[in-house]
Structure 1
Amino acid sequence: MDEQPPPAACTIAGSDSGGGAGIQADLKTFVALGVWGTTVITAVTAQNTRGVLGYTMVPEDTVLLQLEAVLADFDIRAIKTGMLGTAGMIRAVARHLPRGIPLVVDPVMVATSG
C-alpha cells in the first residue's frame, strides 16, 4: 500500500534570521498542520527578537523562477504570501499565481519589529 505524500503548501515571503516570522514561522506552522512546506523567498532579513537590522530584496526574476520551480514539481494545495516588499513584486507575484488554489494574504510590505 503506497503512502500518500502530505498535502503541499507554498509560502511566498521574506526569510527571518531570528526564526520568529516570515518563511521560518510559516514552515513551522505547516509542519504542525501536517503539510509539506515549499518556499519562495522574496527578501532576506537581518533580524532578531530585538529588531530589524536590515533586509535585502531578492530580484523579481529570481522570485518568479522559485515560484515556477515549486509549481512545476509539487501539487500545491494552498499559497500564503507575506513580505512582498514592493508594489512591483506584488503585481509580479499576483500575475503568476495559479487560479483555483486557495490564497492567504498576510499584508506585510516590509519587515518590522514587534
Structure 2
Amino acid sequence: MPSPLPDFDVLVALYRHDPAALEDFRRHMLREAVDEAPLHHRPALERLLEQIETARAHAATPVEAAAIAFRMMQESVGRLHNSWEQALEAAAGLQAALLIERLRLGSTLRAI
C-alpha cells in the first residue's frame, strides 16, 4: 500500500525550509510506486524513472524540469493515442472481414 501524500501546504513548507528533504521524499515516493507496481511493469517503469531523473538533472530550474516532464508525458500520450488508433483500425478490419464472411456464407447457404 503506497504511503499517503502529505497535504500540499505541508509539501510547500518542506520545500521552503528543507528542499533536500522534499527531494528525498520525492525519490522515496517514486521508488515506492515502482516497487509496488506489477512485476511485469517494473522494467519499463525503471527505464522511465531513469529518463525522468536524467531530464531533471539537465534542467536548469525546477520550472524547466516540470516543462521537460510535461513534454515527456505529452509524447507518451501521443504514442498511446497512435497505438489505440491502430488497434481500433485493426479491430474494425477484423469486424468487417467477419461480416463479409458471414454475408458470403449466408448467400451460399441460400443458393443451396
Q: What band does the TM-score fall into relative to the shorter chain?
A: under 0.3
TM-score norm. by structure 1 comes to 0.26
Please state which structure has a larger fraction of its residues in strand. 1
Which structure has the bigger radius of gyration?
Answer: 2
Higher helix share: 2
Task: Say which structure, 1 or 2, has more relative contact order (CA 8 Å, 6+ apart).
Answer: 1
